[in-house]
Chains A and B, each alone.
Chain A
Amino acid sequence: MTAATPDPAATPSTAARGSAVGLDTPPPQAGRHARRAVARSAGRDRWLVGLVGVVLLLAGTGAALLAFGVFGTGRAQRSVLDPMIVDALRAQPLLWRIVAIVGGLLLLVLGLLWAIRSLSPERRPDLALDAGADTTLTVTAAAVADAVAGQARALPGISRARARMVGDERDPALRLTVWLAEDADVGEVCRRIPEEVLAAATDAFGGRALPVAVRIEADTEEGPRVR
């Protein structure tokens, strides 16, 4: 492999974007939208699983300390369902019943919402193009994905490519995953994807520049791949 030195003069004329900023110039902060498109976010799941973990950890640790007599042996010798606490609950039956019912309903709703949202597939929004006052022009998510992936596959050094739309209709973005072939010149591929693939996509979609997250993987294929 040879070292890839970007040559501004070699930039294709179709490069509407990507050409202005060469790979070797430190660009401004990459777009927030593009960064969000890198992968499906697991933030909510991580927070909630962590929260359940912390609650269980604290409850378990507290109960263990109590059971081993850290809070006094007298306390450890009382029954788990302490009559003192039961009496306190029985003094206000209506209040505690309502608290229990509201708490149960909250758990039900939040638990179901969490399960549904973490099971629902990631959205593939269609792309609405600005076509004029009384015309709407929509490019389906599959069409955008096919066009961009096909363009990427045509580059030398790329053995496979997959693209998909992510985000929502108001805020669509594109995720492009490319697999480098064994003999790929990595530097050149990195330079040509924005210059050729993304620029062509921008041209095709009426100059509408989508935030793009490019993912580079290295192919493990030995020999020709059968399609």
Chain B
Amino acid sequence: MRVLLRVLAPLLGLALAAVGVLVVVEVVAAWIGSAGTTGSDGVIVPWPSWQQTLDGLLWATTPVRITAIVVAVVGLLLLLVALAARRHDVPLRPPAPDVTVTTSPQALARMVGRRVRAADAVSSAAVTASRRAISVRAQGWEPTDGGTGLAESVRGDVESLLDDLPLANRPRVSVAVRRQAGPR
């Protein structure tokens, strides 16, 4: 969303500037035109013909309704882009007053994934992470000798990684495992 915002912002700025130029040019031209010769046809945009069209168009017609809905939807989308374009940094405890340490949710998920997949009993794992929650979906083999279950051992791995990481807020950990059949 931040990339989209970076693209949209200058485009919207230029669009506003273009509208401003058109308004100034047309108003000044019409002003000068009305003082001298009679009715011009617009310098850049043919606004007199737009005026005629709008004059004959009622509010309760389909094109007006569709245009209004499209404008509202575009506005809503812009608003959503602006709201969604916040940073999703995961803060770590700052080691000194003038230092901040952050990581990305992707990097955190990758670290967790590495740790989880390093276990022999895990064949594959998918991790999603944010500053508040880490969720692990792992696939692997339950121990045959009655030791700790797969879910508990995966959770233990994640918790031990979180012990190592100086995260500012410890995220909740949720683990879902799928038992894999067959030999290792």
Per CB-CB distance, the 10 closest pairs between chain A and chain B, nearest first, are: A60-B72, A56-B75, A53-B78, A107-B20, A111-B17, A57-B75, A111-B16, A115-B13, A108-B20, A104-B23
Interface membership of chain B positions 3-14, coded 1 if the CB is closer than 8 angstroms to chain A and 0 otherwise: 001101111111
Residue A190 lies at the interface, judged by CB distance under 8 Å to chain B: yes
Q: Interface residues of B: mostly helix, strand, loop or mixed? A: helix
Q: Which residues of B contact A212 (CB under 8 A)?
A: 98-100
Residue B144 lies at the interface, judged by CB distance under 8 Å to chain A: no
A45 near B17 with CB under 8 A, answer no
B19 near A53 with CB under 8 A, answer no
A61 near B100 with CB under 8 A, answer no
Residue A59 lies at the interface, judged by CB distance under 8 Å to chain B: yes
With beta carbons under 8 angstroms apart, the residue of A4, A54, A100, A214 that contacts B75 is: A54
Q: Which residues of B contact A52 (CB under 8 A)?
A: 12, 16, 75, 78
Q: Give the A-B contact count at a CB cut-off of 8 A.
A: 298
Selected A-B contacts with CB under 8 Å, 7 pairs? A38-B87, A53-B78, A54-B79, A101-B24, A214-B99, A217-B103, A218-B108
B60 near A81 with CB under 8 A, answer no
**CB within 8 Å for A217 and B13 given contacts A24-B166, A77-B59:** no
A214 near B164 with CB under 8 A, answer no
Please measure, in the bound complex, the distance between the C-alpha atom of A24 and the C-alpha atom of B167, giving whole angstroms.
Answer: 10
- A22, closest chain B residue (CB): B95
With beta carbons under 8 angstroms apart, the residue of A23, A34, A45, A73 that contacts B9 is: A45
Say how far B110's CB is from chain A's closest CB, in angstroms: 4
B97 near A101 with CB under 8 A, answer no
A26, A35, A191: residue with the most chain B Cβ atoms closer than 10 Å: A35
Residue B54 lies at the interface, judged by CB distance under 8 Å to chain A: yes
B6 near A118 with CB under 8 A, answer yes
Q: Which residues of A contact B13 (CB under 8 A)?
A: 48, 110-116, 118
Q: Which residues of B contact A3 (CB under 8 A)?
A: 160, 163-164
Residue B125 lies at the interface, judged by CB distance under 8 Å to chain A: no
Q: Which residues of B contact A100 (CB under 8 A)?
A: 23-24, 27
The segment from B62-70, B131-139, B172-180 found at the interface with A is: B62-70
With beta carbons under 8 angstroms apart, the residue of A4, A180, A191 that contacts B95 is: A191
**CB within 8 Å for A59 and B55 given contacts A108-B17, A187-B165:** no
Please measure, in the bound complex, the distance between the C-alpha atom of A115 and the C-alpha atom of B89, giving whole angstroms.
Answer: 26
Please measure, in the bound complex, the distance between the C-alpha atom of A22 and the C-alpha atom of B92, giving whole angstroms.
Answer: 13
Q: Which residues of B contact A215 (CB under 8 A)?
A: 101-104
Interface membership of chain B positions 81-92, coded 1 if the CB is closer than 8 angstroms to chain A and 0 otherwise: 111011101001
Q: Which residues of B contact A128 (CB under 8 A)?
A: none
